Amino acid sequence: MMETVVICIGSDRVSGDMLGPLVGSSLREEYHLPCPVYGAVGDSVNGINLEEYLAMISRRHKESRIIAVDAALGKGEDVGRIRLKKGGIKAGGALDREGEKIGDVGIVGVVAEEREPKDVYATLLGVPFSFVEELARRIAEMISVALSAAI
C-alpha cells in the first residue's frame, strides 16, 4: 500500500495563516495518524523553510502520496468552505505567491474574503483565531476519516 504524507503549510504567528499548523498539530496529537505529518504549531512549514521540506520529502518519501493543506483567501460566500484540489495546491496562495504545485491532493480552507486593494497580511491578521481553529478541526477530522477508511 502506498504511504501517505501530509504537509501542513502556514505560519503559526498570524491567525489567518495558522490553519496548516493547527491541522498538523491536531493530526499529530489528537488523531495520531500512522503517517508522517509535517508542519504543526511550533514546528511550522512556511515560506522560509518550504523548499527544504519539499526537498526532504522528495528524498525520504519518493513513492508516497502527498496531501498538502493550506489557508487561502476567496470570495465572501466561500469563507469557511473547504476545497479539495486534485493535483495539489500552490502554497502561499493567500500571500499571492506563484510557485510549483505541492502534493497530489490539496486541501484549502478559505479563511477570509479577498479584498481590493490587496493587503493580504492585514486580512490574515484580522481573521479570528477561533474561526481558524474550528476550520482546522474540521479538516483534521476529514483527513483522519479519509485515511482510516483507506487502510
What's the CATH number where 124 sits?
3.40.50.1470
pLDDT per position as a tens digit, 36-64 = 999 999 999 998 999 999 999 999 999 99
| Domains held by the chain: number | 1
Enter the DSSP assignment of 101: E
- 13-17, 115-119, 122-126: segment of lowest average pLDDT: 115-119
CA–CA separation, 145 vs 135, rounded Å? 16
Question: Residue 96 above 70 pLDDT?
Answer: no
Question: Residue 121 above 90 pLDDT?
Answer: no
Task: Extract the runs of DSSP E, i.e. beta strands, from 4-135.
Answer: 4-8, 37-38, 65-74, 82-86, 89-90, 101-102, 105-113
The parent domain of residue 145 ranges over 4-150
Question: Residue 134 above 50 pLDDT?
Answer: yes
Task: Find out whether 89 and 108 touch, Cβ atoms under 8 Å.
Answer: yes
CA–CA separation, 12 vs 40, rounded Å? 8
C-alpha cell at 118: 490587496
